Structure 1
Amino acid sequence: MLLIFISIRCLGTFVWCVTLFLLNPDSCFALSNETDRVALLAIKSQLQDPMGITSSWNNSINVCQWTGVTCGQRHPRVIQLYLRNQSVGGFLSPYVGNLSFLRFINLASNNLHGEIPNELGRLSRLKVLVLDFNSFSGTIPSNLSHCSNLINFSVRRNNLTGEIPAYIGYYWLKLENLNVAENQLTGQLPPSIGNISTLQQLGVGENKLYGIIPESLGQLRDLNFLSVAENNFSGMLPPIFNISSLEQISLLTNRFEGRLPLNIGFNLPKLKILIVGQNNLTGSIPQSFSNASNLVILNLSGNHFSGKVGIDFSSLPNITRLNLGQNNLGSGSIGDLDFITLLTNCSKLETLGLNSNRFGGSLPRSIANLSTITIIAMGLNQISGTIPLEIRNLANIYALGLEYNQLTGTIPYTIGELINLQALDFSANNLHGIIPDSIGNLSTLNSLWLGFNNLQGNIPSSLGNCKNLMLLNVSKNKLTGTLPPQILEITTLSSLLDLSSNLISGSIPLVVGNLKNLIQLDISRNRFSGEIPTTLSSCTSLEYLKMQDNSFRGSIPSSLISLKSIEVLDLSCNNLSGQIPEYLEDLSFLEYLNLSYNDFEGQVPTKGVFSNKTRISLIENGKLCGGLDELHLPACHNTRPRKAKITILKVLIPVIVLLTILSVGLIVVCTRRRKQTQKSSTLLSMEQQFPMVSYAELNKATNEFSLSNLIGQGSFGFVYRGNLGEDLLPVAVKVINLKQKGSIKSFVAECEALKNIRHRNLIKIITVCSSIDFKGDDFKALVYDYMQSGSLEDWLQQSNDQVDGNLNLIQRLNISIDVASAIEYLHHHCQPPIVHGDLKPSNVLLDHDMVAHVSDFGLAKFLFDRPIQETSSSSIGIKGTVGYVAPEYGMGGNVSLTGDVYSFGILLLEMFTGRRPTHTMFNDGLTLHGFVKMALPEKVMEIVDFALLLDPGNERAKIEECLTAVVRIGVLCSMESPSERIHMADAVKNLCAAREKYKGRRV
């Protein structure tokens, strides 16, 4: 009877719902719609939403009108959740599994973390799940196997671990796109994936997968995109070259062996992109590529291909990038480069890489007909002949490398017509004649390599017009005349100025002091004369100064004491005289000093660099005495009697004591007065130094401080983008939140720090505002240059889904050197030294050229007491950001330079591993520092960001060497004990060395 009663009751309910639906269909879904509303509010409660995207998720409007929410057309159930690229953080709530009608989820390009909820497996209707570019961790949930209607599953660039589930090939049989690239997935590629006959795109690149590619992939007859790049796959090439639908293939940086199929161009008629660089492939390049008329990118670099290039490129009209570098192509004979003439028909070609092969014969004149080309890399071959005048036709080129070949003739004057050229390398050839004046027309040039040739004549003064030049190397030529002062006025010269091994004469112009950022200066083995200019003391970034084998006279200037970063100083084989300055023993970074073959006299110091015989050379200075016993110099004879010294000491000691007491008293009085007036004087000096701007002007510039102009939020204020003044100058306006405790102190600290410091890698302040707003309330703001490329934080955590949006290895090296240089300047070139106090990715801003600028000096501190390596005189603990602040600060430690060094080390490790120091994996005593330290040196390639391995221009071994060096620097900077951390100057030096070695530069 009970069963009969329940059945009748259920039947009645069913009839009631059907009747209600017929009278009012919408009301039938009201209860279910309420379920969706509750679920979405639960999801919102777990999100961090700085942009207020989910502010509409409230009870005042219908759920179907909420931002990012879409309901069905026939019923009010939620079918789509779209919050892509909205800066949303936090966790994805398990309540997402209650949105039972959901068909489409896209939460890509946000800051979500935690695990992907298992409850997603309840969504049987789900067709699209896109979670790219977040920080999800854990494994791919097993419950997702229930989502049998999935068409698109994409979780690219997260922190997922574990294996690719085998169930994908058994339950997701409607799948068209599978992308799990740029995670930490391990294991092998499941053979079951070959069961998904509908699969069109498969991306598993940049993980830790290994083994062979299963044969079953050859069954995917609709596949058009395949990327297994940046893994550890091995064995023969995957069985995919008979899938005629394939358009894009990337096998980059694995360990594949074998030959490309000879009929590849016939079997893959739709092929647009083929990237097989950095493998172990052999054999010849198939001529059948001539039939692949849709080819856009062909990258075969870093393999062992040999023989002649026999492709008919005239039949490849769409090709834009051709990279055959780092192989064994060519035979070193005439005709090797005949294919270049066929390339002139490729009207879209932009990049040509033929470097590091065996190409011989003359440089074809037809190369000048590559009118669309932007990069030509043909160095390290056996190319002969001359550089044609017609090179002027390469109007779009910005990088031209023909180094280490056998070119003859002169540098054509038409080179000056390549107005977009940024990098030019003709070094190590047999070029003669003069350096043409026209080279001064290259206003965008930043690197010029002409060394190891037979060039003659003067260095053209027109080079001074190259105002963006960072590196100039004309060493080992036969250049004569004097050094044009115009070159020394190129303030951007920072990496290298190498004039060594020439016949240049005259004195060094005093304007050499303009090269404040120059790291290496080599003028050795010339005919320079006169005295060493005292203005060299302004070149405070110098690490290598080589002036040997010239005719300099006089003494070593006392002003060179300011070269605090100097590591190598070679003044040998000159006519220098006088005593060896004692300050040389105080230059803490000086590793090698050569003063041989001069006429120095007097006592040799014994400290610093002089304390190690292997680090100095003093031979053929017959008047020197003293020093280390190992130098075997005669003893020095004191001329002043000991009794006279004792008498002087008896007089001096009481005087010194009295002066010390008076000085201490004076310092106490001055310190008290300074503290009373510090805030007002700082603001006054800022107002005097910078033009004040009104509140009304900033209100107009930022569109009334609208949310659409809000670009950041810090501890003490908000940052808006604006366009200031009649010229609409792009600016960033930092508005101080005066209600926040400590905000005035932060404002004063930032004003004080920024008013006197100048460095290319520090944020530049334009103006300040100290006024009242339209409500009559106090208003204070700082206005800076606007950084078009955003913050380092944006690039590390919120990159878009384009490969070109990632920071590559050389960009991260450049940024890390920029940041290190800025902090090194604050520590060692400011008086008093400055501690930044809050170094982290969000405080590193990038301009249009991706040059880094350290910002936010709200926690900056001045160190008024020495020694600067230790702590400030203040006992007030410094604030900072969790994960980046030095551990000793948490135990009450004082402000110190080593605290900044720690923060930089953590920042460096985050840049190159892609892991935040606050990642959930770092618990139970494990830190980012410890995680990386355990991987050194054998497992570095397993813990670095796999985006850094995407460089077809260098061998994997070279990339590994560079990354090992960089992460080691990060570990040394972030040691737990402050005394074990290296100095910032060491960090800059070692990072520069790693970059130069990686780029293959010849210093």
Structure 2
Amino acid sequence: MLNSISLSCQLAALVWCFSLLLQSHHSFSVPSNETDRLALLAIGSQLEDDPLGVTSSWNNSTNLCQWTGVTCGHRHQRVTKLDLSNRTIGGTLSPYVGNLSFLRYLNLADNNFHGEIPHQIGRLVRLEALVLANNSFSGKIPTNLSRCSNLISFNARRNNLVGEIPAELGYNWLKLENLTIADNHLTGHFPASIGNLSTLERINVLGNGLWGRIPNNLGNLRNLILLNLGENRFSGIVPPSIFNISSLENVFLPTNRFNGSLPLDIGVSLPKLRGFIVAENNFAGSIPDLKNLEWLNLGSNNLGTGEANDLDFLTLLTNCTELTAIGLDDNRFGGVLPHSIANLSSTMTDIVIAGNQISGIIPTGIRNLVNLVELCMDDNKLTGTIPHAIGELKNLQLLYLDSNFLAGGIPTSLGNLTLLTNLALSSNDLQGSIPPSLGNCKNLIELHMADIELTGALPPQILSISTLSLSLDLSYNRLSGTLPLEVGNLKNLVYFNISLNRFSGEIPVTLSACTSLQQLYLQGNSFSGSIPSSLSSLKSIKELDMSSNNLSGQIPEYLENLSFLEYLNLSYNHFEGEVPTKGVFSNKTGISLSGNGKLCGGLDELNLPPCPSRGLKKRTDFLLKVVVPVTVSGVILSLCLVLFLARRRRSAHKSSVSQLMDQQFPMISYAELSKATNDFSSSNMIGQGSFGFVYKGNLGENGMMVAVKVINLKQKGASNGFVAECQALRNIRHRNLIKIITICSSIDFKGVDFQAIVYEYMQNGSLEDWLHQSEDQQEARSLTLIQRLNIIIDVASAIEYIHHHCQPPVVHGDLKPSNVLLDQDLVAHLGDFGLAKFLSSSPLDTAMETPSSSKGIKGTVGYIAPEYGMGGEASMTGDVYSFGILLLEVFTRRRPTDGMFNQGLTLHEFARTALPDKVMEIVDSLLLLEVQASNSRSCGDERLRTEECLVAVVETGVVCSMESPIERMEMRDVVAKLCRARDTFLGRMRI
């Protein structure tokens, strides 16, 4: 009985204890996620520029686990992941982020965050990944971050971080696998404590200001795959222990101050090594044995001894079946070029061995490297001839063989290299004539054949390569004959040098078409006659040398109006008459006129005799500049009055139109235009819009192809637009502006008023036709990346000209693809100035009233600046906005009115949210095919340059199309940035 009572008591006690345990468990359960909710709201309150409405879902109406970018754990509903990457968000990161105590993953990459990294992140002991890349975080890396002892990945690349890398990180981040803090402003030594992180797989500190020696204990990182210490100020020797980390696949040490020699057994100790770049250091000695490589860049060091066996290692590299690129340039390699170079992998795309002491011949077996894109052997001691076999390398784009001792003629087979963009053969012992077959290289942008004893005439085919833009250098040869008229095809050429040859005859007037020229050197020939007046169109010229020829006549006054001209050499010719005193002539150090015995006047410092009969000249000038214009003006006014009285039924502005036209453009009759267009046949119609119709025609006895825009006078404001366009174009000249040939303001055969403008005909139609082809278009056409770059730079140059080089400045007012016309060489010409306006001289650059001015928004939907919709005046910044949209359309091939752009998403936002890392996802798919084709034969650096170019271009379009006018760029800065982007693209083949 007692036992049963005792048992009952024990059971009751157990139940009571169990209930207490349950109560205790209930009282001390895990807190709710209210702390997380408050922390997120605090974070959201400090965010700025949230165009995608990321934080609009962050409110009390929904569970926080459903908020955008937020992920919760299943058990306790606490925030474990916060991903706000690539949302174009700005602002600072709230310290309350440290209250998300269950957070394992924090990703804020690709945004506009600024301010310091909150040290409260150090409270997040569960954090495994912290990604802050591509923002503007500043200040130091907080030492408190070392408390995140479970961190596996830290990526803060491309920010503005300063100071030293905290040594504490190397003592506490014992699980770290990825340390990426490249492209910041970090300084100091690289902490030796990082060598404690045995789990590390990636170290990337590229592009900082770190200095000193590399710690020896980095050799303890036996799991390391990537080591990138490039572009810092490291010095001393690289610890040998690093070259014993057998897991290493990529070692990047370029642009530092390392010295010493490289271990010769790297290929053995690093069996997985695929990428090895140590360019631009002070390494010396011999080349190590390397295997399994994909690319190798040892350029700009002191490697090699100058002895015979320096390049024997190339034979070993023939076993590297995946090798694509070799860079050995600017070292001290000597000896004979091994014939085994022709036995390298057929995957090779780049061989750069320039700037050494390599001798021997170029083996004919080079034809085996069928995928070669870049072959740079310049500045060596190579002998023999240029192998005909090089012409079989159909993928070759860059060929540099200059500054060697190559002999013989230039192989005609080079004309087979139709993809070639850069060819340099200067300073060799070559001889003979220039093969006309080189004219087949229609993609050349640079051609250097100076100082190689060339003889004979300059083939016109060479001057028909319209893509030549960087330079054409044929100086120090013995070329003879006249300079062919085809020189006018070089409209994009910047540098042209044919000095010290035997050219004769007159300077061709067609040279005036080369309006991009900045340096022109014609000295040391036998040119005769006067300087053509047409050269006044060379508005970009900076240096002009015509010395030591047989030129005569007076020095043209227009030379003093070339605003960029800094250096002018006309010495040792037969010039006579008065020397101008303005422009380049106002600076004695910028001109050279010696050896012309009949010159007078000019600056006193030139010590030339005074010009005779100054008084007579002044009287003549008075007659020419005052009396004659006044008399002519009186006659013109009288004629206008007679016309006004004879045609009273015409409006007052029509008389002003006739006066304007008569003064500036030749008039043509309706009958002539009707005949030229076959009575305005529908078969000749090439365009249509609210203004009327555009017809192609053959004008005059020579049948010149023209485009005739017939104004629809029934359309309100059309006649005003006609006047505005003529006013805008009458005093401006630029190679990228459409040219008016003649006009017609008359009546047709039915007695009805008729107005038309006749332009030069553009064989390749409009940019609109190329970007958005109609389904019934017979021939599929597409624009390459370089063609799009050239076209958009052409358009930008035209706008820069009318904005900054016209008095008064002009606003176009209707920039869009259909108003960009392309000639036979795909050079862009900006047209349709029907909405153009002149600007006042006030600081605000507001538009003056013109015949086309009227109330209401003018322009085309999608391209109109936002401020125009709120009554803003036409302005330069309005043009910049339209240009930005046009640029984005060219590279994405999406109209701003595309159906995908709705609910707040615009072409501008579409592009902005892709910057910088997702640009390749938004560009035209046709460009992607081109880039992919290039990638298949390019090394990583080349791909990076292409992407860099596209990022810069899209970034320019985004800044130009900002909603606020004050945030937009000026067109002069736009041109500069786009030209730099093009230079990046064109130079992408150098490794």
What range is the shorter-chain TM-score in? 0.5 to 0.7
Partner of 1:795: none
Partner of 1:545: 520
Matched, 1:203 2:180: yes
Whether the aligned pair in 1 keeps the contact of 2:522 and 2:545 (CA below 8 Å) is: yes
Amino acid across the alignment from 2:202? F
Partner of 1:438: 413
Whether the aligned pair in 2 keeps the contact of 1:37 and 1:63 (CA below 8 Å) is: no
Equivalent runs, 1:348-747 vs 2, <5 Å: 348-370=322-344, 371-638=346-613, 645=620, 652=628, 654-656=630-632, 658-659=634-635, 669-670=653-654, 691=687
Whether the aligned pair in 2 keeps the contact of 1:761 and 1:821 (CA below 8 Å) is: no
3-state SS of 2:282 partner: coil
Matched, 1:144 2:144: no
Partner of 1:337: 311
Give deviations 1:281-333, integer Å, cap 9, x for gaps. Answer: 11110123122110111111111111111x222xx22x112111111111111
In structure 1, list runs of 5 or more residues that go unmatched.
1-10, 22-27, 78-99, 675-683, 695-741, 772-783, 793-810, 846-850, 908-949, 954-962, 971-975
Matched, 1:193 2:169: yes
* Alignment partners' CA distance in 2, 1:836 and 1:595: 39
Partner of 1:719: none
Equivalent runs, 1:825-840 vs 2, <5 Å: 834-835=810-811
Shift of 1:690: 5.1
- The alpha-carbon distance between structure 1 residues 261 and 664, as it changes in their structure 2 partners (threshold 3 A), is farther
* Alignment partners' CA distance in 2, 1:644 and 1:855: 43
- The alpha-carbon distance between structure 1 residues 994 and 135, as it changes in their structure 2 partners (threshold 3 A), is same
Partner of 1:304: 282
* Equivalent position to 2:238, from 241, 247, 260: 260
Shift of 1:203: 1.3
- The alpha-carbon distance between structure 1 residues 364 and 253, as it changes in their structure 2 partners (threshold 3 A), is same
Whether the aligned pair in 2 keeps the contact of 1:369 and 1:393 (CA below 8 Å) is: yes
Shift of 1:983: 6.9
Equivalent runs, 1:245-324 vs 2, <5 Å: 245-266=223-244, 268-291=245-268, 292-309=270-287, 311-313=288-290, 316-317=291-292, 319-324=293-298
* Alignment partners' CA distance in 2, 1:231 and 1:285: 24
* Alignment partners' CA distance in 2, 1:607 and 1:508: 30
Equivalent runs, 1:851-866 vs 2, <5 Å: 861-863=836-838
Partner of 2:749: none
3-state SS of 2:121 partner: helix
Matched, 1:115 2:92: yes
Give deviations 1:571-611, integer Å, cap 9, x for gaps. Answer: 11111122222212221221122122222222222222222
Give deviations 1:475-517, integer Å, cap 9, x for gaps. Answer: 1110111111111111111111111111111111111111111
* Alignment partners' CA distance in 2, 1:791 and 1:479: 32
Whether the aligned pair in 1 keeps the contact of 2:36 and 2:79 (CA below 8 Å) is: no
3-state SS of 2:486 partner: helix
Whether the aligned pair in 2 keeps the contact of 1:761 and 1:819 (CA below 8 Å) is: no
3-state SS of 1:669 partner: helix
Shift of 1:448: 1.0
* Alignment partners' CA distance in 1, 2:470 and 2:142: 49
- The alpha-carbon distance between structure 1 residues 405 and 866, as it changes in their structure 2 partners (threshold 3 A), is farther
In structure 2, list runs of 5 or more residues that go unmatched.
1-18, 645-650, 659-679, 691-716, 730-735, 740-760, 775-779, 821-825, 860-864, 888-938, 943-951, 960-964
- The alpha-carbon distance between structure 1 residues 324 and 152, as it changes in their structure 2 partners (threshold 3 A), is same
Matched, 1:184 2:168: no
Partner of 1:326: 300
Shift of 1:533: 0.6
Give deviations 1:809-833, integer Å, cap 9, x for gaps. Answer: xx9xx99978864544555899997
* Alignment partners' CA distance in 2, 1:648 and 1:227: 73
* Alignment partners' CA distance in 2, 1:45 and 1:612: 57
* Alignment partners' CA distance in 1, 2:434 and 2:518: 24
* Alignment partners' CA distance in 1, 2:681 and 2:58: 48
Partner of 2:769: 766
* Alignment partners' CA distance in 1, 2:803 and 2:228: 46
3-state SS of 1:569 partner: strand
Partner of 1:84: none
Scaled by the length of structure 2, the TM-score of the pair is 0.67
Whether the aligned pair in 1 keeps the contact of 2:456 and 2:480 (CA below 8 Å) is: yes
Whether the aligned pair in 2 keeps the contact of 1:761 and 1:818 (CA below 8 Å) is: no
* Alignment partners' CA distance in 2, 1:49 and 1:685: 55
3-state SS of 2:185 partner: coil
- The alpha-carbon distance between structure 1 residues 517 and 762, as it changes in their structure 2 partners (threshold 3 A), is farther
Amino acid across the alignment from 2:297? N
Whether the aligned pair in 2 keeps the contact of 1:416 and 1:439 (CA below 8 Å) is: yes
* Alignment partners' CA distance in 1, 2:78 and 2:256: 46
| Structure 1, 574-583 or 635-644: larger mean CA deviation | 635-644
Partner of 1:236: 213
Partner of 2:150: 174
Partner of 2:108: 131
- The alpha-carbon distance between structure 1 residues 643 and 415, as it changes in their structure 2 partners (threshold 3 A), is closer
How many residues are paired up? 782
Q: Alignment RMSD, CA only?
A: 5.9
Amino acid across the alignment from 2:314? I
Bigger Rg, which one: 2
Shift of 1:56: 9.4
* Alignment partners' CA distance in 1, 2:380 and 2:452: 16
Whether the aligned pair in 2 keeps the contact of 1:763 and 1:785 (CA below 8 Å) is: no
* Alignment partners' CA distance in 2, 1:644 and 1:270: 89
Give deviations 1:914-934, integer Å, cap 9, x for gaps. Answer: xxxxxxxxxxxxxxxxxxxxx
* Alignment partners' CA distance in 1, 2:786 and 2:506: 47
Give deviations 1:203-230, integer Å, cap 9, x for gaps. Answer: 1222121111222111111111111221
- The alpha-carbon distance between structure 1 residues 662 and 685, as it changes in their structure 2 partners (threshold 3 A), is farther
- The alpha-carbon distance between structure 1 residues 648 and 364, as it changes in their structure 2 partners (threshold 3 A), is closer
* Alignment partners' CA distance in 1, 2:330 and 2:521: 31
Whether the aligned pair in 1 keeps the contact of 2:466 and 2:492 (CA below 8 Å) is: yes
- The alpha-carbon distance between structure 1 residues 54 and 458, as it changes in their structure 2 partners (threshold 3 A), is farther
Shift of 1:360: 0.5
Give deviations 1:873-910, integer Å, cap 9, x for gaps. Answer: 45999999xxxx9x9xx9x9985699979x99xx9xxx
Whether the aligned pair in 2 keeps the contact of 1:434 and 1:456 (CA below 8 Å) is: yes
Amino acid across the alignment from 1:246? L
3-state SS of 1:593 partner: strand
| Structure 1, 658-667 or 542-551: larger mean CA deviation | 658-667
- The alpha-carbon distance between structure 1 residues 52 and 612, as it changes in their structure 2 partners (threshold 3 A), is closer
Amino acid across the alignment from 2:84? L
| Structure 1, 390-399 or 599-608: larger mean CA deviation | 599-608
Q: Percent identity?
A: 43
Equivalent runs, 1:900-979 vs 2, <5 Å: none
Partner of 1:928: none
Shift of 1:396: 1.4
Shift of 1:410: 1.0
Scaled by the length of structure 1, the TM-score of the pair is 0.66
* Alignment partners' CA distance in 1, 2:827 and 2:274: 33
Amino acid across the alignment from 2:469? S
Whether the aligned pair in 1 keeps the contact of 2:43 and 2:94 (CA below 8 Å) is: no
Whether the aligned pair in 2 keeps the contact of 1:763 and 1:855 (CA below 8 Å) is: no
* Equivalent position to 1:214, from 191, 194, 213: 191
Shift of 1:618: 1.9
